[in-house]
Structures are given as structure tokens and as C-alpha cells.
Structure 1
Amino acid sequence: MERNIALIALFAALIAALGLVPAVMLPFGVPITAQSLGVMLCGTVLGARRGTLAVLLFLLLVFLGLPLLSGGKGGLGVIVGPTGGFVIGFPAAAFVAGLITERWRRGPVALSAGVAAAAGGAVLYAFGIIGMSLVLDKTPLQSALLVTAFIPGDAIKAVIAGLVTSALYRARPRAVLSRA
């Protein structure tokens, strides 16, 4: 129990730390950040339940006003901005990434975790597209076209999540709770 609480807090801190990595701004004002990598790692390493709890802890701190999101943003107001849908989608993305990693036991860990992270990213896109279409007053199709600019960066993040999860599993198999 205590180990689970410590890992949940540690991964919430990892998401916050990845928010310190400078964002790459796209021409239409939406940033590509490293925080979604932290969300995916929560799922692929901790599993669906614990990974979701880590993300929810992180979001609780953000909604309380701590400036933990990329760019030093925090507070409830972040959910009404153009990236609010992505923020709201963090827990669902971690859950899906964790669930896939837990259930897909065949083949290399890097492959299952990478695919799981990509699937979590797709869930994140679904939330992000809906949020952008509401906030920017665009159709979901227009928002989806805007979001396609993120695909190469998120594909790289999915590969990184797969490799990190695999390396951790090789070094300390019991530390990857999604595979325990």
C-alpha cells in the first residue's frame, strides 16, 4: 500500500517535471509539450489503476492552482483554454495506456508499451479535438486537422515511452507494475 502511494506521488511529480521541458509552439498557438509523455509512462509503468490515480493527483494539484502545467499554468481556468480538452483527457489516456500494457503480454515489452502509449495518445486526441472545437468555435473536423500537426511528436513520445518502460522492465521487472 505504501509503495503504491509513493509510486503514484512519484509519477505525479514526473508529469510536473516534464512540464518544465520547454514547449514547442506551433503556428496556431498550441504547444507540443513533454507532459503527455509523463501521462503515457504513468499508464505503461504503473498500470491502468495506479497510472490514472497518479494523473488525477497531478490534476488535483493543477486545479488547486499550482502552476504545474507546461508554461507555468494552473488553476481551474486551464480547462476552458484551447488545450483544456487535452488536460481533461490525461486520466483517460493513462488508463487506456495502462490497460493495454497490462493485457498485452505477448512480444517485447517495448512494443506493447509503445502501442499502448500511442493508443493513450489517440484517446488524448479525442478529448483534445472536442475541447478545441468547443473553445475555438471550430467544427470537430477543423480541430482534428489542427491536431494532425502533433502526430509526429506524439509518435516519438510513444516510442520513448515504449523504450523507457522496456528498459525499466529489464533492469527491475518488479518496478513495472503494469506487467506484475
Structure 2
Amino acid sequence: MRGVRLRDLALAAVMAALIGAVAPVRLFLPGLSVPVTLQVLVVLLAGALLRPAWGAAAMGLYLLLGAAGLPVFAGGTGGLQVLAGPTAGYLWSYPLAAALVGVLTPAPGGGSARRSDLPRLAGAMLAGLGVIYLGGAGWAWLVGGKGLTAVLTGWVLPFVPFDLAKVAAATVAATAVRRALARAGLLAV
């Protein structure tokens, strides 16, 4: 049991570091204030590779690092002001999204990750993406004073194609990593 905890702790730390490493990469779409980032990809991977509590812990660690001022949020920013800013709802949704993906991710069968798990894994990631949209758009609507139409057209719909590509990439990557971990005897069932 101790080895499993150490493995989970190490993977959680890697996921927290990875999301911080990809956060500076962002792309602004014309006319929008919310950037396209790779953070969602890592949230989905954390959920698929870790148990629910550990996926949430990895994203919680990421939020703590950013709150402490480390430049791990989008565009290399950090600090408490980001966690209260216009896009804070996306950030706050990450632990819940990772946990949900972890809950819905199929356990590997026969000691390895199977290709037949791909549809269920993609479905788990789509559910996690829904939590992220709900958190980000909900925050903009409730706290940011944006109207529902403005939220949908500026905070959700333009990102759907990018995020569906992230779901596909995360599904393939998680399957490959789970398969490698299973071969090494490191995948907890």
C-alpha cells in the first residue's frame, strides 16, 4: 500500500508541475478575453491517470502553488488575484473535474489498459470538460456579471473545437501511459 501511495504522490506532483509548465502557452482568439491554453489537457490526464482523490489533490496543489505567487497560471501569472479574477471559475473547477474524470475512468482490465476503454475514457473526459465549462462560465455569469448569451458566445462555444481536440489527445495519451504503467506494474486498479 505504501508503494501505491508513493506512486500516487509522485504522479500528482508530476501533474501539478506539468499543468504549471504548460500554462504559459496561450492563444488569444480574435475578440475574446479568455485564452486557449493546454491546462485542460493536463486536468483530464490527471483525472485519467490518478485515483479521484489524487487527481483532485494534484490540481489543488497546482492552485496552492499559484496562490503562493508562483507563475503557474495562464500566461505565467500567479497570485491570489488570479483566483478571484474573471477566469477564476475555470481554475477552481480543476480539482472537481479531475476527480470526476477519475471516478468515471474505467479500471484497466486484465492488468492493462485496453483499447476498448477508449470510448468510456473519452466520455469521462467529456464529463470533466463539462465541469470546467460550468465552473468557468458559471463564475463569469454569477460573479462577473456577464449575461448568459455573452458567457456562451465568449466563454464556451469558441473553445469547444479546441477542447474536443484536447479530449482526443488526452484520451490517446492516457491510454498509452496507463498501458505503460500497467506493464511496469505501477497501475493501481
Give yes or no for contact 1:39–1:94 (8 Å, CA) kept in 2: yes
Distance in structure 2 (CA, Å) of the matches to 1:7 and 1:171: 14
In 1, the alpha carbon distance for the partners of 2:34 and 2:187 equals 32
Contact 2:19 2:43 survives alignment (8 Å): yes
Matches within 5 A, 1:145-160: 145-146=153-154, 147-160=156-169
Letter in 1 for 2:129: G
Structural RMSD (CA): 2.0
Distance 1:36 1:152 in 2: 13
1:40-93 per-position Cα deviation (integer Å, ceiling 9, x unaligned)? 111011121111111011111111111101201111111222211101111111
Structure 1 portions without partners, runs of 5+:
none
Partner deviation per Cα, 1:94-119 (whole Å, 9 max, x = no partner)? 11111110469797232222221111
Runs of 4+ displaced beyond 6 Å: 103-107
Equivalent in the alignment of 2:39: 35
Q: Say whether 1:73 aligns with 2:82.
A: no
- The answer on whether the counterparts of 1:115 and 1:158 sit within 8 Å (CA) in structure 2 is no
**Structure 2: stretches of 5+ with no match in the other structure:** none
Which amino acid letter does the alignment assign opposite residue 24 of structure 1?
L
| Counterpart residue number, 1:161 | 170
Secondary structure of 1:11's aligned partner: helix
Matched residues, number: 177
What percentage of residue pairs aligned between the two structures are identical?
35
Question: Offset at 1:145?
Answer: 2.7
Q: TM-score, normalised by structure 1?
A: 0.89
1:139 to 131, 135, 147: 147
TM-score between the two structures when normalised by the length of structure 2: 0.85
Alignment pair present for 1:88 and 2:123:
no
